[in-house]
Amino acid sequence: MKDSRPGPGLVKEIQARVEKKMRENEIAVLQYWKERIDRVAAMKPEGIASLQLEIKKISSMMDARIGILKKDKS
């Protein structure tokens, strides 16, 4: 009877593809949030309140995304 399990070469290739895709996704996520933070850093706020509001918006967006990811995982 023939063994139907994938060979070690195929497993390594699939693993490499998954790791590459995960790195690409992580880079995209970090670039997105860096751009958001850079926009806040470039602001010329009239006071601390507007800066706090922008930070709260970013935090809220991150919370929403985390919630979506956790819900998808279930």
Reported as a single tens digit per residue, the pLDDT across 15-71 is 999 999 999 999 999 999 999 999 888 988 788 898 899 899 999 999 998 898 888
Angle at 55 (CA atoms; ends 53, 56), nearest 5 degrees: 65
Q: Is 3 inside a domain boundary?
A: no
Q: Is 2 inside a domain boundary?
A: no
Q: Which residue range is the domain that position 34 belongs to?
A: 8-73
Q: Is 15 inside a domain boundary?
A: yes
The domain total for the chain is: 1
CA–CA distance, 13 with 16 (Å, rounded to integer): 5
Q: Is 26 inside a domain boundary?
A: yes
Judge if pTM exceeds 0.95.
no
Q: Is 46 inside a domain boundary?
A: yes
SS percent in the chain: helix, strand, coil, step 5: 80, 0, 20
